[in-house]
Amino acid sequence: MVDTHASGFLDVGDGHHLYWEECGNPEGIPVVYIHGGPGAGCAPVHRTFFNPSRYRIVLFDQRGAGRSLPYACIHANTTKHLIDDMEALRVFLGIDRWLLFGGSWGSTLALAYGQAYPDRVLGFVLRGVFLFTRAEVDWFLNGMQHFYPEAARFFYEFLPEDERSVCLESMYRRLCDPDPAIHGPAADAWARYEDACARLVPLPFIPSIVREDGQSCSLAIARLEAHYMIHKGFIAENQLLDCLETVRHLPCHIVQGRHDVICPPRAAYALHQAWPGSALVIVPDSGHAAMEASLRSALVAAVDTFANQLGQG
């Protein structure tokens, strides 16, 4: 495992403090790991996508996620806030331009940031592309049951029968309730549903882990995902494709699991078709989870290819 050589908290206003860390080569290609969810947070294993001799590796937890404070907070938590946070972090670290590496929601935020600050971007490595369209949100809530009916049944039956037709609104209300007896079970139900659909070969569900502050580790991903979904990602429909002109000149490597049920390949293919010069690799034996062996290997290869193109190392 690659050790960090710097870390801290960045005050980004609105009461939010972002956890960040750096590792790898301080003189290498700057790359920022943009985690999914939103709310998933980063972990030490995410450093391993990058060759530490070639890359200056930056990881951070978005507002409300991971070690950032306050935990699972949806106040002043929108896509625009997260874009501005990334730019504040770049300036704070003294980075001129960086490679954006993001999967799932991380691909959404990478594209949104890149379109806002194209002059600060070296390129993109994207996985499990999610463009945050209404169709993709509906698929998450209603479509995945075609492949994982048992997981969907557990998810829906968590709610009273008369609330299942408004599943997102009902779950969001529970997830935002301050009472742990209400938001805790709702968070576990949401996280269990998503986790069951994330891999080509599902793993046994691990019951919710409790943080040092006594809150469930499932809460941030469940509450923040529902928060962003109910607000349509805080972006216009088709915005990320409609505004591609600002970044089309930049290199983009797209890696997609063929059997990704959470973010099906259609979005990755649409992005590739709209982005001449982008590279698309569809991994035949992978689902959504970035750490599945074949998907991880393809992501590492994409990152190495990018370094080779820049003549680094």
Q: Which of 98, 168, 182 is nearest to 134 (CA)?
A: 168
288 is catalytic: yes
Percent of the chain's residues with pLDDT above 70: 95
State the residue for tokens 């034996």: 285
Distance of CA 313 to the CA centre of its chain: 28
Residue 139 CB neighbour total at 10 angstroms: 19
pLDDT tops 80 at residue 218 = yes
Q: Which of 162, 150, 128 is nearest to 281 (CA)?
A: 128
**Residue 119 and residue 109 in contact, taking contact as beta carbons nearer than 8 Å:** no
For the segment 72-128, what is each residue's pLDDT rounded down to a tens digit?
A: 999 999 999 999 999 999 999 999 999 999 999 999 999 999 999 999 999 999 999
Task: Kindly state the tokens that stand for 262.
Answer: 């959470």
Query: Residue 207: pLDDT above 60?
Result: no
Q: How many CB atoms lie within 10 A of CB 226?
A: 26
- The whole-number pLDDT of residue 121 equals 98
Q: What is the pLDDT of residue 217?
A: 77
Q: Residue 22, Cβ neighbours under 10 Å: how many?
A: 19
Pairing relationship of beta strands 279-283 and 121-127 according to DSSP bridges: unpaired
pLDDT band at 3 (very low <50, low <70, confident <90, very high): confident
Q: Is 68 a catalytic residue?
A: no
List the catalytic residue out of 104, 216, 278, 286.
104
228-254: string of b/e by CB count within 10 Å (b at 16+)?
Answer: bbeeebbbeeebbbebbeebeebbbbb
Q: List, by residue range, all CATH 3.40.50.1820 domains of the chain.
A: 4-132+236-311
Q: Which amino acid is at 163?
A: E
Q: In angstroms, rounded to a whole number, what is the distance separating the alpha carbons of residues 282 and 93?
A: 34
pLDDT, tens digit, 9 for 90 and up, residues 192-206: 999 999 998 877 665
Token code pair at residue 253: 């490597």
Task: Write down the pLDDT at residue 2.
Answer: 79
φ, ψ for residue 177, nearest 5 deg:
-65, 135
Q: Which of 208, 260, 278, 286 is catalytic?
A: 260
Q: What is the pLDDT of residues 271-313, one digit of tens each?
A: 999 999 999 999 999 999 999 999 999 999 999 999 998 765 5
User: How many CA atoms within 13 Å lie on the side-chain side of 113?
Assistant: 31
Angle between helices 105-116 and 79-93 (to 10 degrees): 70
Residues constituting the chain: 313
Q: State the catalytic residue, choosing from 227, 253, 259, 288.
A: 288
Is 84 annotated as catalytic? Answer: no
CATH 3.40.50.1820 fits 4-132+236-311, yes or no: yes
The backbone torsions φ and ψ at residue 121, rounded to the nearest 5 degrees and listed phi first, read: -120, 130
pLDDT at 28 over 90: yes
How much is the pLDDT for 201? 84
pLDDT of residue 203: 73
127 CB-contact burial (10 Å; exposed 0-12 / middle 13-18 / buried 19+): buried
